[in-house]
Structure 1
């Protein structure tokens, strides 16, 4: 038998129109987690400002070039992993060189609309006097965002040449994951 107090409380709540149903936390509407960025969501380019340009005029040490991705979509999306980078050479003997990956661990980057992230390519420049067969002269970079199959074609804006190590196990020219 229900107590008089319980019946009166339920009646008062119904009469006031404030019946609240308990909803389990798992059924509550949550904002969907962002999905990965697709090539169509992005634009890409070389970082050209001041200290972002690689030191291609020297041959004593490695240097870095940076490629950026900007989210041009109207949604937040994520990038995680390594971009695919194929360099096309300017010399007829260069061909295409698919860059090796570093041992750096990738991180997940969330890009809101208009946000930009980048990754670095470590390069080993060589002197202009280096024999043709030992140097690679970059012309274009085919850059594929992580987990995508469509690439951007970027013209190499920095000049210079790189020690040709396209068949090396641990080349001195390699790429780092997005966000590093």
Structure 2
């Protein structure tokens, strides 16, 4: 009998222990989610919480002020002036000692502010559009970036020796083509100032860098 009661008692103790573990497990489930599950939820929440500080989101949030700054900068200047935004004119003759000098004037006709820098191109042409004489030479100078608000002008000096004095071969152009700096398209201006040198030793024509204003 003594040998038979010991296995019974062991079985009873084992069953009791399993019952206690079952109760503890049930209590843990009722009291809340274990720590590993909490960690998972925090990780899931991180992207949503971090959206406000995400670089892309932060940049988008700054867009209104950035746009305002860009608009303000655009109001000041928006790159170089294009040919389509300018009007060209030849100013009044400014005679010198044996020289004939004319201001070539570029005026901003657009509604925006733009810039010009350097030397304009110039070419005398006949009625058919054929160029007369060589391209003008660039006179020494120190070009500066000029800001042209709508309606503002810049000018460059076009000069050559008086043909009557120099004895150069001459021709009478129908027009002067003026090309703004860094542009390919030209502006055509009627030429009414008579003969210009187109050949010979004293036939050179020079042009200066652009300056602010409409003439000397």
Question: Residues 125 and 160 of structure 1 are in contact (CA less than 8 Å); yes or no, is this contact kept in structure 2?
Answer: no
Cα gap change, 1:79/1:94 in structure 2, threshold over 3 Å: closer, same or farther? closer
Unaligned runs of 5+ in 2: 1-61
1:152 aligns with 2:187: yes
State how many pairs are aligned: 141
1:89 Cα offset (Å): 4.9
How big is the alpha-carbon RMSD for the aligned residues of Structure 1 and Structure 2?
3.2
Question: Residues 36 and 77 of structure 1 are in contact (CA less than 8 Å); yes or no, is this contact kept in structure 2?
Answer: yes
Question: Residues 54 and 158 of structure 1 are in contact (CA less than 8 Å); yes or no, is this contact kept in structure 2?
Answer: no
1:113 aligns with 2:150: yes
What is residue 15 of structure 1 aligned with on the other side? none
Query: When you count strand as a share of all residues, which structure comes out higher?
Result: 1
CA distance in 2: counterparts of 1:171 and 1:44, whole angstroms: 24
Question: Residues 109 and 151 of structure 2 are in contact (CA less than 8 Å); yes or no, is this contact kept in structure 1?
Answer: yes
1:78 aligns with 2:115: yes
TM-score (norm 1): 0.65
What is residue 177 of structure 1 aligned with on the other side? 209
TM-score (norm 2): 0.55
Question: Residues 88 and 107 of structure 2 are in contact (CA less than 8 Å); yes or no, is this contact kept in structure 1?
Answer: yes
CA deviations 1:6-56 (Å, max 9, x no partner) are xxxxxxxxxxxxxxxxx9xxx793632511100111111111xxxx3144x
1:62 Cα offset (Å): 1.5
Question: Residues 100 and 162 of structure 2 are in contact (CA less than 8 Å); yes or no, is this contact kept in structure 1?
Answer: yes
Query: When you count helix as a share of all residues, which structure comes out higher?
Result: 2
What is residue 106 of structure 2 aligned with on the other side? 69
Question: Residues 127 and 161 of structure 1 are in contact (CA less than 8 Å); yes or no, is this contact kept in structure 2?
Answer: no
CA deviations 1:37-94 (Å, max 9, x no partner) are 00111111111xxxx3144xx9x6122111111111111100001111111257xx97
What is residue 178 of structure 2 aligned with on the other side? 143
Question: Which structure: larger Rg?
Answer: 2
Match of 1:164 among 188, 192, 199: 199
